[in-house]
Amino acid sequence: MSNLSERELAATIDHAILKPELVRADVDAELDIAAEWGVFSVCVRPSDIAYAVKRLDGTGVAVGTVIGFPHGTTSTAAKTAEVAQALADGASEVDMVVNIGFLRSGFDDAVVDDIRAVVNAAEGRIAKVILETSYLDDDQIARGSRLTEAGGAAFVKTSTGFGGGGASVEHVRLMRASVGPAVQVKASGGVRNLTTALAMIDAGATRLGTSAAATILGEARAIERGDGPTGATDAASY
């Protein structure tokens, strides 16, 4: 299993702050966690982007958001409009949900066109494509990964965390094997402890989406200090 330092592991984490019921005090607490632990980025609800950018100014933590979330069924025009607003509000990365029904239907050209439009709207910022693997069989996951690459996205991502299932090691491996080296894999949904995080990285993920950054990095810190693991948590989706 990978032997990453706390700092190296933090650099893989997009701390998710996406639950619809969160009030501003909850958002503040999660943004503070992200800053305290030095994660790579936060992934916030679109309406929280500008606020998160301001609150995290000077911390080195990037701000990303979601597009077409969580179902992926909004029109391409709506998705690109969301991207334009996200960039105006200061987002540096976008995680779009693929049109799951189109992918399952075999409408490959429409899927690629949808992805490419979002990638173009992102104007050079990192764009990730969420497949929602719990709704797909292995052939659809592999095909969705290839379509993500064809659409020019930088990452293919497992899950929203709201679709009834999260990331699995097997699906991360399949996604990694289905795309070329220029496309990275993000494991998201159910990554809630250090053991799971490292297993996803070993399977080929280079970014982790999780709301459990403090738990994961706290376990890594305890090991670095010689205290041993602090104990795994339940692998429920975020």
C-alpha span between 159 and 70 (Å, rounded)? 9
Contact 133, 160 (CB under 8 A): no
SS3 assignment, position 114? helix
Q: How far is CA 13 from CA 48, 82, 100, 194, 196, in A?
A: 19, 23, 25, 12, 13
Q: Of residues 157, 202, 227, 234, which has the active-site annotation?
A: 157
Q: Of residues 14, 48, 114, 186, which has the active-site annotation?
A: 186
C-alpha span between 221 and 196 (Å, rounded)? 16
Q: Of residues 95, 128, 138, 139, which has the active-site annotation?
A: 95
Residue 157 catalytic? yes
213-224 vs 194-203: helix crossing angle, rounded to 10:
90
Rounded CA Rg of the chain = 17
C-alpha span between 150 and 147 (Å, rounded)? 5
C-alpha span between 166 and 159 (Å, rounded)? 6
Q: What token pair was written down for 42?
A: 């936060």
Q: Which residues are catalytic?
A: 95, 157, 186
